[in-house]
Structure 1
Amino acid sequence: MPPVVPVRDRRARRSRSALLRAAVDLVGERGTAAVPISDLADAADVSRQVLYQQFGDRDALLLEAALDLARRDLMPRLGDPAAAVPGRARSLAVARHFAEHRGFYRALMTGSTAFALGKALSGLLVPFNRQLFQEALGGTLDARTMDDLAMCLAGGGQALVCAWLIEGEDPLDPEEFADRTTRMVTVLVSALLTVHAPGGAPGALASGQPGERTIR
């Protein structure tokens, strides 16, 4: 038999989920993160006290709503970081997710949660970047440098997404953005392969090689 969940716990989870959904919906509709706490609570059909109990303040709610959305919608599209998925397919999945939720993310990226959101989203993508560099450069770099590269690529990618969401023309074109990011990653990996190819021979990137895995 499944474990019995206390009624209070079930109610708390329902309230939390309702607040997360309300945050995404209201911020996305209004295009601003400055949604009154009373509006968020009303949309979730909970009291302001419940909101404070669950999240502490509005910024914490909005940040958690963004991470919840990314975990529910984006991460399943990306799959297992260790799986052999073409790089462009993942770039396109990222572009489509953010384009579909442009109003919500753009509001957060131009508000008080911008820094925390960028750091959190970058953290979600680090394992995928680490695997990319591991496949292309495994054995030629120490683990710390591999991690640093993965973090740099995640941060740079997040900055590109942010600029695209804020400044891009309507409607956003995920296909075009996926091409841009794929080219950027391909150039980066190719340059690193040239410098850190097995045997240390500069210019050792041959045709048919690891860098090409990022553009299929």
Structure 2
Amino acid sequence: MNQVVPGRRSESTDPRALRTRKALVGATVALLKTHPVAELNVSQIVKEAGVSRQVFYQHFTDRDGLVLATAQDMIKEAYEGFVARFSSDRDFEAAVTALMTTLTDQYEAAVHIIDSPVHSMLDQEVVAIMLPTMREELRSRADEWGGADEQLLDDMASFYIAGCQHLLEEGVREGASPEEIGRRVELVRRVLIRE
């Protein structure tokens, strides 16, 4: 996932900068468990992280930049794990269940991110991670349907990813178990893929 995050030190590899970034992201996750993004402000975040406002602004241009970075950190490993697992064993339901299991402790924070201004940017990140895998899954099926050009495969994969994301988000909002979310997504996949 490309982490294009606003801020001067957001991509620094200096150990102090990494510790500060980790503290800011950790504080944001903690606050997002009980506060919607609209209720968060930089003062709360820096107090929770134990850093100054000046240090905050050395890393991020604003609150939403930090919220996006936090969301990226929350999902990056989970979605990359999904892609790796699905690519190796082709069990979509198990891959979705594993994905949601890694996020279970962060459902409250995830709902607040879903309801925030960074949600659409985060969805774009998810599409970027998932598109190659979904494109290849659909490519193998397209021959059965009489073939599809690259644009149609990309369009179908993007549509499929958006639908899966919607189901995942609804499951998170409902507090559904990872197994229930995996089952729901798999049922829809079987119908769409014609299995």
Q: CA deviation at 1:175?
A: 1.2
Question: Which residue is 1:111 aligned to?
Answer: 116
In structure 2, the CA distance between the partners of 1:81 and 1:144, relative to structure 1 (3 Å rule), is: farther
Match of 2:99 among 94, 100, 106: 94
Name structure 1 gaps, 5 residues minimum: 1-6, 191-210, 212-216
AA of the residue aligned to 1:50: V
Match of 1:127 among 114, 126, 132: 132
Matched, 1:32 2:39: no
Q: CA deviation at 1:81?
A: 6.0
Question: Which residue is 2:163 aligned to?
Answer: 156
Following TM superposition, the consecutive aligned residue runs of length 4 or more in structure 1 with deviations greater than 3 angstroms are none
Matched, 1:181 2:188: no
Q: CA deviation at 1:189?
A: 0.9
TM-score of the superposed pair, with normalisation by structure 2: 0.81
In structure 2, the CA distance between the partners of 1:78 and 1:107, relative to structure 1 (3 Å rule), is: same
Name structure 2 gaps, 5 residues minimum: 1-11
Q: CA deviation at 1:152?
A: 0.8
Take 1:178 and 1:148, find their aligned partners in 2: how far apart are those partners? Answer: 23
Take 1:176 and 1:110, find their aligned partners in 2: how far apart are those partners? Answer: 22
Q: Point out the more displaced range, 70-79 or 175-184.
A: 70-79
Q: CA deviation at 1:132?
A: 1.5
In structure 2, the CA distance between the partners of 1:179 and 1:149, relative to structure 1 (3 Å rule), is: same
In structure 2, the CA distance between the partners of 1:113 and 1:15, relative to structure 1 (3 Å rule), is: same
8 A contact 1:55–1:61 mirrored in 2: yes
Question: Which residue is 1:146 aligned to?
Answer: 153
AA of the residue aligned to 1:17: K
Q: Percent identity?
A: 25
Take 2:148 and 2:82, find their aligned partners in 1: how far apart are those partners? Answer: 29
8 A contact 1:108–1:114 mirrored in 2: yes
Take 1:179 and 1:122, find their aligned partners in 2: how far apart are those partners? Answer: 21
AA of the residue aligned to 1:153: Y
Q: How does 1:69-88 map to 2 (within 5 A)?
A: 69-79=74-84, 82-88=87-93
Higher relative contact order, structure no. (Cα contacts within 8 Å, ≥ 6 residues apart)? 2
Secondary structure, in 3 states, of the residue corresponding to 1:46? coil
TM-score of the superposed pair, with normalisation by structure 1: 0.74
Q: CA deviation at 1:65?
A: 0.8
Residue correspondences, number: 181
State which structure, 1 or 2, has the greater radius of gyration over its C-alpha atoms: 1
8 A contact 1:18–1:44 mirrored in 2: yes
Q: Point out the more displaced range, 15-24 or 134-143.
A: 134-143
In structure 2, the CA distance between the partners of 1:165 and 1:72, relative to structure 1 (3 Å rule), is: same
